[in-house]
Amino acid sequence: MVERRLRQKVLSTSVRQQTFDTELLIKRIEELENQIRLSKDNDLNPINDLVQHLVQLNSLGGTRVYHRAIHALIYCLHRTFSSLIRQGRIHASPSECEDGESVKLVKNWLRDRYEEFIEGLFDLLYHQAEGSEQIGLDGLTILMSLVRNESEVMRSLRESREESSGKIDRKKYPNCGFESKTFKRLVKVLIQSSPQGQASVSNDVRAEFITRYFNFCDDIRYYFLKEAAQICRSHVSSSTELPNQKSKGKSLDTAEITLTELKNLTKNLLIYLGSLSTMPTETDELNQFWTGRPTAITTTHQKKRSIKSKSKPFKKVRVEADGSTGMFDDTSDSDETDEASQPVRQRDLDPLLSLRSHQKAFSECWLALLSLPLTELEIKKVLNILHSQVIPNMIDPKFLMDFLVDCVDSGGSIAILSLNALFILMSKHNLDYPAFYTRLYALLDRNVFHGRHRPRFFRMLEKFLSSTHLPVNIVASFLKRISRLCLFSPPGAIIASIPFCYNLIKRHPSCMSMLHRDDRTETLGVQEKDPFDEDEIDPMETDAIFSSLWELSSLRNHYLASISTLSKVFSESFDKPQYELEDFLDHTYNSLFQTELDRQIRKPPALSIFASSYKSTEVIKSMKTDDIVTQMWNI
């Protein structure tokens, strides 16, 4: 008990000491900032002390007691370096070559301190401890503010450099845009693992970046996609060299680190791309820019065209249908209107104002990600959003063909998930894939009817077989395969298969003969083999059209009353409308059992024996039973 009290006393004393140190540190930070601001001889040495304090606090692992000190420190350094950036004392200036050695040394020293400050902010993004979320968010806010300041200063320095040299190329360097190298480093931090081995930045930092910047600012999204694509391309070669490294006996630790980095890269980048919900679809939607809106570039071709329009000496008179020449019409504003109405060519636009440039960056980033080795779970995540979020925003979605064909060839649930995107490429983007229905037919097995993707597969199958121009052999093969699988399927799959087959026969009346074909054994007295070849992989060669759907007739004797009742639709006239397939897809054993429990019985079920009265029961009990079976059942 005494030891416990002593331990609590020591802990409380250490907490008070840390709090006291925090207060002293905050006062020290304020003093150093005042020294920098009030110094008449531009003494910048306190900056080094501030940066070293940040390094020391980061080494403590983001202890909660020092959060106030970290908050005060990073905003103090932010104010200091922002002022130095605006003064042009960190980045190169046009007159840098004319400066003395002392000025160059000071500028290089400031750059080193600035780099240390940026690295300290990057470390704050990885803090995962409870209560340290705000520190990471503050670090992200300061980094994005520095990105904006750097872009503004670098543009002004570049323009002054061009003016001093007399060479201004607006086509290569527009008057607005991203000029920050810090943002490129930030993208690497966001999608790659930290040097300390952490897989990613904190979830709060990631969510803040996606919501406030990535899904809101067009320039940030554009340059994020371009930089992420470049990082993925740099990892493609390293991922292909890993097996060679192991075979040559090189360090396995290096190979494992590279594999870990690849896994973290694909996992993190997929989160950002999957969260992207504001890809522009029209040029007018490009209206939010973090570093300022760029303007259209005036090229030499446009200048020559405008000079020609102003120096038109003669215009041929055109006679209208009513005989007037229009010579006395007011044409004072015609030249101005023609010049103003001339559209800016797509190649003369700044990339940030070009919808095609944004789509190109989006496409390149996705293709670079898909070229990396992905896990099965990541491939499924990609396939779930490919048809809705990726294909509509790509310039040429046919580049996805190799990835989708590989997914289809892999089989299983991945092949099922890839069918929808592949069919969209075929129907909307003129992709030629003749083996589509052969692959689809091969996927139709008992595993699909027992898997969790069965409802999605039936939805896609209804879409793929909806065309009335399909060959009847293909439709008959699918009908026969589904009806054959119903003999070994759970009730939920059978309930979905019966309406599906009904709709398919209704849509393709040529298959009606498969329902009403009589058994040849009864008509000819000769037992013949079913012409349907279930081992044939080509649906055009199965001869299913010459067979009969006797499997659907056998479902009338199913043990479940709902299935036996539903299957009777094939013995009736086909004058009913098509079923809404969505109403039958989500049935399971649990839902069917719950339906039977909730069903209200109007009449009591019939008994195979008559219910005995009370008197007859007493008589039976009084009777002596010598039958051993009766004695055993007398409980």
- pLDDT tens by residue, 208-230: 999 999 999 999 999 999 999 99
CA distances from 3 to 12, 17, 147, 177 (A): 14, 21, 54, 64
User: How does DSSP assign 480-517, residue by residue?
Assistant: HHHHHHGGGS-HHHHHHHHHHHHHHHHH-GGGGHHHHP
Residue 131, C-beta contacts closer than 8 angstroms, at least 6 positions apart: 64, 67
- pLDDT tier, 167 (very low <50, low <70, confident <90, very high otherwise): low
Specify the pLDDT at position 107.
Answer: 87
- Phi and psi at 508, nearest 5°, equal -125, 85
206 burial class (0-12, 13-18, 19+ CB within 10 angstroms)? buried
Interval 44-68 mean pLDDT: 82
pLDDT, tens digit, 9 for 90 and up, residues 482-493 = 999 999 999 999
For residue 149, give Cα distances in angstroms to 86, 120, 535, 619.
7, 18, 68, 103
Mean pLDDT of all residues in 16-43: 77
- Segment among 129-133, 503-507, 562-566 with least mean pLDDT: 129-133
Range with the largest mean pLDDT of 5-9, 344-348, 575-579: 575-579
Q: How far apart are CA 334 and CA 20, in angstroms?
A: 77
- Each residue of 321-362: pLDDT tens digit? 544 444 445 444 444 444 444 455 555 678 888 999 999 999
Q: What is the DSSP letter of 372?
A: S
Three-state SS across 339-355?
HHHCCCCHHHCCHHHCH
Q: Are 547 and 531 in contact (CB under 8 A)?
A: yes
Cα–Cα distances in angstroms (integers) from residue 48 to residues 55, 379, 419, in the given order: 11, 48, 59
Contact 422, 436 (CB under 8 A): yes
pLDDT at residue 172 tops 60: no
pLDDT of 243 > 60? The answer is: no
d(CA 272, CA 385): 13
pLDDT of residue 347: 54
Average pLDDT over residues 630-634: 63
Average pLDDT, the chain: 79
Residue 253's pLDDT band (cuts 50, 70, 90): very low
- 408, 420 contact by CB (below 8 A): no
Query: What pTM does this model have?
Result: 0.78
* Rounded mean pLDDT, 109-115: 92
Dihedral sign computed on CA atoms, order 450, 451, 454, 460: negative
Predicted local confidence at residue 246, as pLDDT:
43
Owner of token pair 């249908």:
321
Least confident interval from 34-43, 111-120, 147-156: 34-43
Predicted pLDDT at 307: 47
Looking at residue 238, what is its pLDDT? 61
- 146-151 average pLDDT score: 90
Q: What is the mean pLDDT of residues 602-619?
A: 63
What's the token pair of residue 250?
Answer: 């090189």
> Which residues, at least 6 apart from 569, have a Cβ–Cβ distance to it below 8 Å?
498, 502, 576
Q: Is 589 helix (H, G, I), strand (E, B) or coil?
A: helix
Higher pLDDT among residues 401 and 246, named by residue: 401
Q: What is the pLDDT of residue 236?
A: 76
DSSP code at position 433: -
pLDDT of residue 114: 93
Mean pLDDT of 285-313: 63
One-letter identity of residue 556: R
Nearest to 232 by CA among 269, 195, 204: 269
**95 neighbors 109 (Cβ within 8 angstroms):** no
Q: What is the pLDDT of residue 361?
A: 95
Q: How far apart are CA 171 and CA 295, in angstroms?
A: 11
Q: Is residue 93 very low, low, confident or very high in pLDDT (cuts 50, 70, 90)?
A: low
| Structure token pair of residue 351 | 């990339």
Q: What confidence score (pLDDT) does residue 617 get?
A: 53
d(C-alpha 515, C-alpha 521), whole Å:
16
Q: Can you tell me the distance from the alpha carbon of 238 to that of 262, in angstroms, rounded to the nearest whole number?
A: 9
Quote the pLDDT of residue 14. Answer: 45
- The more confident residue out of 296 and 81 is 81
How much of the chain exceeds pLDDT 70, in percent? Answer: 72
**What is the structure's pLDDT at 571?**
87
Q: What does the pLDDT read at residue 587?
A: 85
Q: Give the C-alpha separation, 66 to 418, whole Å.
A: 50
Going by C-alpha positions, the residue among 428, 420, 426 that lies closest to residue 387 is: 420
Please check whether residue 406 is in contact with residue 433, taking contact to mean a CB–CB distance below 8 angstroms: no
**Residue 303 pLDDT > 50:** no
Poorest-confidence range of 90-104, 339-353, 380-394, 598-612? 339-353
The pLDDT-based confidence of 519 (bands split at 50, 70, 90) is low
> Concatenated DSSP letters for 118-164?
HHHHHHHTT--STT-HHHHHHHHHHHHHHHHHHHHHHHHHHHHHHHH
- What CA–CA distance (Å, rounded) separates 144 from 397? 33
Phi and psi based region of residue 217 (left: phi greater than 0; alpha: psi -120 to 50; beta: remaining): beta
Higher pLDDT: 539 or 103? It is: 539
Contacts of 359 (CB under 8 A, 6+ apart): 279, 393, 394, 395
Distance CA 269, CA 225 (A): 10
- The whole-angstrom separation of Cα 402 and Cα 461 is 22
Of 138-147, 152-161, 591-600, 620-629, minimum mean pLDDT range: 620-629
Checking if the pLDDT of 590 tops 80, the result is yes
